[in-house]
Amino acid sequence: MTPMDDIEAVRPWEDWKSSIHTAVIFFFVFLICLEVCLWIRGCGQKKSLPGPFPWPLVGNAMQLGQMPHLTFCKMAQIYGNVFKIKLGTHDIIVLNGESTIRQALVKHSAEFAGRPNFSSFKVVSGGKSMAFGAYSDLWKTHKKIAHSTLRAFSTVNTQSTKLLEEHVAAEVEDLIQVFLHLSSGGEYFNPFYECHVAIANIICALCFGKRYSHDDQEFKALLGRHDKFGQTVGAGSLVDLLPWLQSFPNPVRSLHQSFKDLNIEFFNFVKDKVSQHRKTYNPEITRDMSDAFIGLIDYGEEKVLSTEYVESTLMDLFGAGQDTNSAALTWMILLLIKYPHIQKKLQEEIDRVVGQGRMPTAEDRAKLPYVQAFIYESLRLSSFVPMTIPHSTTSDVIIDGFYIPRNTIVFVNQWSVNHDVNKWTNPDQFQPERFLNENGQLDKDLIHGVMIFSLGTRRCIGDQLSMLQLFLFTCILLHRCSFHSDPKEELTMNSTNGLTIKPLPFGVSVRARRLRRNQEILG
């Protein structure tokens, strides 16, 4: 074979090797391009969650401070409305801003309807809590029964609503007498405890048909320990997120044990009342909510829930209703004395519509737009439930382009909505007029922007009942009394933290009003 023949023999091999080399390069270029395309596409759908750097063992727990909702607002300015923090070994997603929260809790309601598998949640209401229980078909049935009963007690012009009005009127009358007694001689007092007893008595009357004296020692002790509940189940609870703290003596371990004891005590309190109702139950007469739930759960056509759900439902209502409404009422009294010109304007509207010859009723609500605006502005400014009860995701979901996997704990920052500078003009100022339109009527679209009862599947089912109670308390108290601040005291909006936030102790003096005659008022 000649050298030329060798060259001719090698050339096909080199041509084939060159083709393979070209094909391999093309293949790798194709893979790189595909990876880039997938990465670009993924950035639009599964962006990496931003957030502060977590420290070993404790995560970001030390960064949250005494008011986590305010810390989260500051973090949102850096990381956006969706970001991740770490508490202990748990990854937590924090949601801020109305559009983001509505997207999660309304558009993806089912995906965000879960509750974390927290140890504290398992001891609430005998382990059958609707507010803290896991999302399931059984939970949906439980909610449907509870919601239908509450709606009957909060719809205007029903027999149940009239019963509520009677309870509120009687309770306010007693509360006024206590206020006047504490104010005798020009004294000033902190109204929180008396408001707490009054609201708790309304819940007791609705649930069990019985109220307690403001001086009842057993009832007083029970209410006095109730703050432990909010401190434990609030967002960021170290009891649930850092469970290893329970392994040695420390304040967290003590708090968790107190929380367990409190739930047992509350459950036994409710169980005793329900037992008495079952013994005297008459299907022809609905005396209160205990009878209503016994009828639906014990004797209903579809016995889906066991009888223990009567006690657990009532315990949920009793626990949640007294804490939130007493906090709201205390904030409103603070705002009345902080802004006396607004108090005067409220009384003028009530005097003009209601007059002197009767008490305010639920039917007056549509004719008292400024009173309603005052209530909504009080809820917005105080944001006394700054964070919802922690959620968890029931499936993988994408929010604002961020991928959130199933069983992720989610904190929802309601405060960020109520104090959003892009939504509210001067959000840190108290301006009830913001909720009135140019005709002086309540702006129904704007009031829905106040976020205090959460949204979606886990929205508080007692929202209408709470709003009706707050309306009646506000109207009747202002119809009968005037509230005055201690001139030696500087009033602030500073608060204590928990599941609900309450104003720091402040002094108030209450005086009975001497109304003018109807013709003078109307003239």
Q: Which pLDDT value is given to residue 160? A: 67
- CATH number of this structure's domain 46-120+131-522: 1.10.630.10
DSSP 388: P
Q: Which pLDDT value is given to residue 516? A: 54
- Give the Cα separation of 94 and 409 in Å (integer): 9
Q: Which pLDDT value is given to residue 269? A: 84
Residue 303's Cβ-count burial label (10 Å; 0-12, 13-18, 19+) is exposed
- The answer to whether the CB of 101 falls within 8 A of the CB of 95 is yes
Which pair of structure tokens corresponds to residue 433?
Answer: 């007029």
How many other CB atoms are found less than 10 A from the CB of residue 492? 11
Q: Which pLDDT value is given to residue 29? A: 46
Which pair of structure tokens corresponds to residue 288?
Answer: 């209160």
The Cα-based distances of 76 to 64, 81, 179, 224, 316 in angstroms read 13, 5, 43, 36, 32
The dihedral built from the CA positions of residue 148, 324, 453 and 329, taken in this order, carries a sign that is positive
- The answer to whether the CB of 384 falls within 8 A of the CB of 91 is no
Q: Which pLDDT value is given to residue 3? A: 47
Q: Which pLDDT value is given to residue 497? A: 80
Q: C-alpha angle with apex 8: 7 to 11, nearest 5 degrees?
A: 85
Q: Which pLDDT value is given to residue 219? A: 76
Q: How many CA atoms lie within 13 A of 370 on its CB side?
A: 17
Mean pLDDT by runs of 10 across the 523 residues of the chain is: 47 49 48 45 65 91 90 97 93 97 97 90 81 91 88 69 84 94 93 92 88 77 66 60 68 68 82 92 90 90 84 86 89 98 98 93 95 98 94 96 96 97 95 95 93 94 90 96 94 86 95 64 39
pTM for this predicted structure: 0.86
Residue 192's Cβ-count burial label (10 Å; 0-12, 13-18, 19+) is buried
- Establish whether 460 is an annotated binding residue: yes
Exposure string over 470-490, b if 16+ CB within 10 A, otherwise e: bbbbbbbbbbbbbbbbbeeee
